[in-house]
C-alpha cells in the first residue's frame, strides 16, 4: 500500500536533548513537508523540500533541522535550541506540479 | 503574505441541522483545500477547489470557492454525529512553485444527537 509513515508515534524528550522524527513515503512524491500543530491550533510549516538534497525553511524553522538524502525520506531533528517543542508533528508529501498534499499519521512529542 | 481565517472556530449543532463554515484568505490563491481531522489523528483530504465557482460535494458536505471574494465555504447538510471533527481549510498562494499551503485555524464541529 502506498502511503506516508511516521515514527515514532509518541516521543518523549528531556531538556537539552536532540531528537529525530522519521518520515518515509512510498508514493514517489517529489515534495515533502513538515508541519507543527499545537493544541487547538492550525498547522504551521517548519521545512519543506521539493527535490532530493534541497530544502527550504518554512515559517517556524528556528530550532529545527532537516535532511533530504533520499526521495523517500525527510527526517526532522528537533534540537535543544527549540525552547517549546511539545506539539504534534505532521509530515506530508505531494507530487509534481503542486498537487494535493497527503499527510502521515503524526508524531506527538512531549518534553519532560 | 497569505493569511487564512476560518469562522466559526467552534460550532455545536444538532443532528439534522444545516450550517456553513467560512474560509477567507487575504491574497490571490489558485488552490483551496479542505481537510478533516479527528482528535489525535492526522489530516484527511476532503476537497480540492481549483477555480472560481468550483463546487464539490461528498455526502453531506459541499465545498465551494469564490476567488473574487477570496472566500470558500463548507456547507453541512442534515448533520450527523459522525461529522464531528475539526475542519481545516488551506490555501496555496498564486504561482507558488513550492506548493506551500497556509492553513486556517480550524473549525471544531460537534454534532449532538
Q: Is residue B96 within 8 Å of residue B36, measured between CB atoms?
A: no
Q: How far is CA B33 from the centre of its chain?
A: 7
Spatial distance between the Cα atoms of A91 and B75, rounded to a whole number of angstroms: 28
Q: Is residue B61's pLDDT more than 80?
A: yes
Neighbours of A38 (CB within 10 A): 12
Number of A–B residue contacts, CB under 8 Å:
54
Q: Which residue of A has its CA nearest to B87?
A: A42
Instruction: Give pLDDT, residue B22.
Output: 98
Q: How far is A48 from chain B (nearest CA, A)?
A: 8
Mean pLDDT of chain A: 92
Q: Report the 3 state secondary structure along B7-52.
A: ECCEEEEECCCCEEEEEEECCCEEEEEEEEECCCCCEEEEEEECCC
Instruction: Give pLDDT, residue A98.
Output: 60
B67-107 tens-digit pLDDT: 999 999 999 999 999 999 999 999 988 776 667 889 999 99
Instruction: Give pLDDT, residue B97.
Output: 62
Q: Is residue A101 within 8 Å of residue A92, measured between CB atoms?
A: yes
Residues of B in contact with A48 (CB under 8 A): 98, 100
The answer to whether A56 contacts B92, with C-beta atoms less than 8 Å apart, is no
- Rounded to 5 degrees, φ, ψ at B84 are -60, 120
Give the pairing type, strands B107-112 and B10-14: parallel
CB of B101 less than 8 A from some CB of A: yes
Q: How far is B107 from chain A (nearest CA, A)?
A: 9
Query: Strand, helix or coil at A14?
Result: coil
- Written as nine digits, the cell of B99 is 506548493
Spatial distance between the Cα atoms of B64 and B32, rounded to a whole number of angstroms: 9
- Written as nine digits, the cell of A49 is 523540500
Instruction: Give pLDDT, residue B96.
Output: 67
Spatial distance between the Cα atoms of B38 and A33, rounded to a whole number of angstroms: 21
Q: Is residue B100 within 8 Å of residue A45, measured between CB atoms?
A: yes
Spatial distance between the Cα atoms of A5 and A55, rounded to a whole number of angstroms: 20
DSSP single-letter state for residue A70 = B
Residues B72-99 as b or e (16 or more Cβ within 10 Å = b): bbbebbebeeebbbbbbbbbbbeebebb
CB of B36 less than 8 A from some CB of A: no
A48-80 tens-digit pLDDT: 999 999 999 998 999 999 999 999 999 999 998
Amino acid at each position: 500500500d502506498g502511503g506516508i509513515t511516521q515514527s515514532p508515534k509518541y516521543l518523549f524528550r528531556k531538556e537539552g536533548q536532540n531528537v529525530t522524527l522519521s518520515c518515509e513515503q512510498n508514493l514517489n512524491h517529489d515534495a515533502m513537508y513538515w508541519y507543527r500543530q499545537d493544541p487547538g491550533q492550525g498547522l504551521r510549516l517548519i521545512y519543506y523540500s521539493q527535490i532530493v538534497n534541497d530544502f527550504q525553511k518554512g515559517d517556524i524553522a528556528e530550532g529545527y533541522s532537516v535532511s533530504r538524502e533520499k526521495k523517500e525520506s525527510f527526517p526532522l531533528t528537533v534540537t535543544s535550541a527549540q525552547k517549546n517543542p511539545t506539539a504534534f508533528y505532521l509530515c506530508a508529501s505531494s507530487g509534481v506540479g503542486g498537487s494535493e498534499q497527503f499527510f502521515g499519521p503524526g508524531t506527538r512529542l512531549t518534553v519532560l | 503574505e497569505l493569511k487564512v481565517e476560518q469562522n466559526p472556530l467552534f460550532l455545536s449543532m444538532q443532528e439534522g441541522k444545516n450550517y456553513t463554515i467560512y474560509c477567507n484568505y487575504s491574497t490571490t490563491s489558485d488552490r483551496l483545500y479542505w481537510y478533516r481531522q479527528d482528535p489525535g489523528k492526522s489530516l484527511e483530504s476532503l476537497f480540492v477547489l481549483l477555480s472560481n465557482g468550483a463546487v464539490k460535494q461528498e455526502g453531506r458536505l459541499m465545498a465551494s470557492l469564490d476567488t473574487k471574494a477570496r472566500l470558500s465555504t463548507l456547507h453541512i447538510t442534515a448533520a450527523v454525529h459522525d461529522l464531528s471533527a475539526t475542519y481545516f481549510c488551506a490555501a496555496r498562494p498564486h504561482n507558488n512553485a513550492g506548493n506551500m499551503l497556509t492553513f486556517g485555524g480550524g473549525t471544531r464541529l460537534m454534532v449532538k444527537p
